[in-house]
Structure 1
């Protein structure tokens, strides 16, 4: 896979802005799009992420090696699959009822959100990460590799090479990683799970994952109840 130098972020909300800040600090070239016109978000970007380039979705994707989806989950189908064809894509989205509305209108209850995102963008390679830690924690707790009490992020996807590359990217952004080569395992970090909202070290994150099946959320998943 191509080396990641240019990072594109679709979504100029709180998560998108924080990830743009971290990516710039890590030395990447960053382009970001929002729900409105380029002119509408330009001032926000200039103020909060000086150095990032505001662009249309097409402009972001065309010039980026890695795309981060940081939009409300209910809006991912507003993006045409062919726009992201051949791209490495990070799914940083979550279902959230206050933003997305009724779950059954957004997601098929028979599979996880990231499985459905991967199925929709079936010509792209999707990896799930950045979704279980709050944007404040992402902003405030990024640390260099080897730093004491460095926090970790869960990284899951079906393509091993892509997952490894995204894990390396996450490391440059300031976080250790716990990697799973199965995108369905992203269910462990979705709202309702013990990990959602958690800011943990790699050891503590791994411990929670190891005991996932014993949690109430894990038992629900095993029983076929998602949500």
Structure 2
């Protein structure tokens, strides 16, 4: 029997991953910094396949753990508790939210490499970071759907990467292997594969609806594996690969 999927963080991305996992028939364990009681509304919604616990208990009970917290908190992940685990890094850098993080040097090192350095005995896999939280739920499709989209995955350990790819496929997406973590910058903020392709056509101006209303209801667009590979290949690295809460892309927080 497959162990439950652990999700650290019950915010926008963490809760959507939990919903997709439960829809796929997977058990999920969720934790956050505020304690299990703060997650009761979410677990009540998700039903019997979910439960909330402490992060220490989650780490002991799950082998694949989704880190869905602000990047500024990555050093709060306990390296000893997560030793030997597969940790899926969904975290992106948003200076307006995270503050200035001197270690972030996007032209030189991918943020996931920093996470791997901290979680030195874990197998860090970069995934589930380049799609906004609304479309992440609404664009999931069955494996035989012609409208199925793809998500990028990077990691240094092939066996761990295969397990995460299998999870992503169960959640409703194909996967495109970007290679090792050193190549994961290709899916970071401002890159061609980040958020906007999945949004579909963005109105030039918002006359009849607000930007927020459009964001919450837009159906999005398919990003096939072939198209995603092209977007990743087009990426050009620079020193300001940061997310912005002032843009539509900021809604992927």
TM-score, normalised with respect to structure 1: 0.89
Which of 73, 76, 80 matches 1:75?
Answer: 73
Which of 114, 117, 129 matches 2:115?
Answer: 117
Matched, 1:202 2:225: yes
Q: Distance in 2 between matches of 1:211 and 1:72?
A: 27
Matched, 1:13 2:36: no
Deviations 1:137-162 (A, max 9, x none): 11101111120121100000011111
- Note the residue ranges of structure 1 that are not aligned, 5 or more in a row: 213-217
Residue of structure 1 equivalent to 2:39? 41
SS in 1 for 2:81: helix
Hey, which of these two has a bigger chunk of helix by percent? 1
Alpha-carbon offset, residue 210 of structure 1: 2.5
- 1:136-147 residue pairs with structure 2 within 5 A? 136-147=134-145
SS in 1 for 2:80: helix
Alpha-carbon offset, residue 201 of structure 1: 1.5
Deviations 1:119-144 (A, max 9, x none): 11010001000000111111101111
Q: Distance in 1 between matches of 2:93 and 2:187?
A: 11
Deviations 1:27-80 (A, max 9, x none): 211000122021222233323x22310111011111112100000010011122
Alpha-carbon offset, residue 99 of structure 1: 1.7
Counting matched residue pairs gives 214
Which of 98, 104, 107 matches 1:107?
Answer: 104
Which of 123, 143, 146 matches 1:148?
Answer: 146
Which of 10, 19, 30 matches 1:32?
Answer: 30
Alpha-carbon offset, residue 108 of structure 1: 4.6
Residue of structure 2 equivalent to 1:98? 96
SS in 2 for 1:74: helix
Which of 150, 153, 158 matches 1:160?
Answer: 158
Q: Distance in 1 between matches of 2:132 and 2:193?
A: 11
